[in-house]
Amino acid sequence: MKKIILGALVLSTTLTFAQKKNTTNAAMSYQDAQKSLVQGKFENASAALLEAKAYIDLAAAHEDTKTDPKTLMYKGKIYLEVGAIGTMAKNETVMAMDAEKLAEEGVNALKAVKTNDKKDRYGDDVKDYCNKFRYQGYNVGIQMFQDKKYEEAIGGFSMSSTFADILGETDSASYFNTGLAAFNIEKWEVVEESFKKCVEINYKTGSSISYLTEAYIQLDKKSEAEVMLKEQVVKHPGNKDIMVSLINIYLGQDKKVEAEKVLTDAIALDPESRDLNYAVATVYENLERYEDAEKAYKKVIEIDPNFSDAFRTSMKENFTNSLPYLEKANELTPNNKEILTSLKQVYYKLGNIAKFKEIKAQLEAL
């Protein structure tokens, strides 16, 4: 029995050594790839990384070495680089692989090093590796953003935040800048994801909430925007920017009563705010509370006599001049919503409430 156990132990040790040798071979091939990269020999580097991947896959698949921190570290490095370098070298084998999956597995492998590295032998190596690519990514993001190459900027900033995440750190600026770059090219899903993260970590709260709200609107997620903004109003009492965003969401959903309630609270915080009083006037006008609307418009003019939008209420001459053209346009193109909406507003501004109600009913019927 002892001979059998001893034999099994020898066999097990031999197999384990063989698997550890695969990790060592993977490390050597990886180093060869790095030397080729320094020399600008991308094809050689790609071939070496593929060889390294073959070795590390054997080690990562074996029970005795799959959680070995050295195996995990090299798997992370190899998987993260093989796709990028292979693409640069136009290596057909690499280009047939799922680059996104390779990168994901590489990130997960590096994250797992800390968990399994009880003696912390590879902590500094992983930290140095991640910081190198983190800072490279951020610098690329900045340069590409300045060059208005927003797609590439997203890639750079995302790279920075990913390597920070591996280290258990949060790269707030990279999340924010990813969102800004995505906003510039209307990649609304990326805008949503980036600024949702910024809101969660309270980074540039007012701006992040405004951008996230716009993403929700563009993605037709107004109900989600409403939920988020109501939470943030409670979380950040007195923040007028957040309140204004919520007001706009309510108005966009025709929830005028809810909008008025938030506006009242906002004005209580800043009674002399021109923009808030103007927003109140607009809400009252939509609610057909014309006397209240008139008072609010007058308050706006009192606060800022040069505010041109508020003077719409007193520019009767212009409205009088435009009325015949609008009536003729409505005659030639009946049931046109844009024309009817303009006509309704002019009748209201001129005090012709009967015609205002007539056009309003016509619009509602449409």
Q: How many Å apart are CA 247 and CA 250, to the nearest integer? A: 5
User: Domain range spanning residue 348?
Assistant: 315-365
Rounded CA gap, 295 and 264, in Å?
14
Tokens representing 250?
């309510």
- Domain assignment present for residue 338? The answer is yes
pLDDT at 287: 72
Q: What is the pLDDT of residue 1?
A: 41
Q: Which long-range contacts (CB under 8 A, 24 or more apart) does 185-191 make?
A: 185/150, 185/151, 186/218, 187/154, 188/215, 188/218, 188/219, 189/215, 189/219, 190/154, 191/215, 191/218
Sorting pLDDT into bands at 50, 70 and 90, what band is 27? Answer: very high
Average pLDDT over residues 140-160: 93
Residue 319 lies inside a defined structural domain of this protein: yes
The reply to whether 326 falls in a domain is yes
**Torsion sign across C-alpha atoms 248, 254, 258, 261:** positive
Model's pTM, two decimal places?
A: 0.71
In a domain, 74, yes or no: no
Is residue 19 over pLDDT 80? no
The single residue listed with the structure tokens 């418009």 is: 297
Residue 168: predicted pLDDT: 93
- pLDDT at residue 366, rounded to an integer: 75
What is the pLDDT, as a whole number, of residue 129?
Answer: 92
Alpha-helical regions (H) of the chain: 2-38, 42-61, 69-88, 92-95, 99-116, 123-146, 150-166, 172-184, 188-200, 205-218, 222-235, 240-252, 256-269, 274-286, 290-303, 316-332, 337-349, 353-365
Structure token pair of residue 30: 């990886």
Q: Rounded mean pLDDT of the chain? A: 84
**Residue 317, pLDDT score:** 55
Judge whether 157 lies within some domain: no
How many domains, in total, are found in the chain? 1
- Please check whether residue 218 lies inside any domain of the structure: no
In the block, which residue shows the tokens 């040798």?
21
Burial pattern 157-180, b for ≥16 Cβ within 10 A else e, equals bbbbbbbbbbbeeebbbbbbbbbb
Better-predicted residue by pLDDT, 164 or 253 = 164
User: pLDDT tier at 170 (50, 70, 90 boundaries)?
Assistant: very high
For 341, the token pair is 């909406």
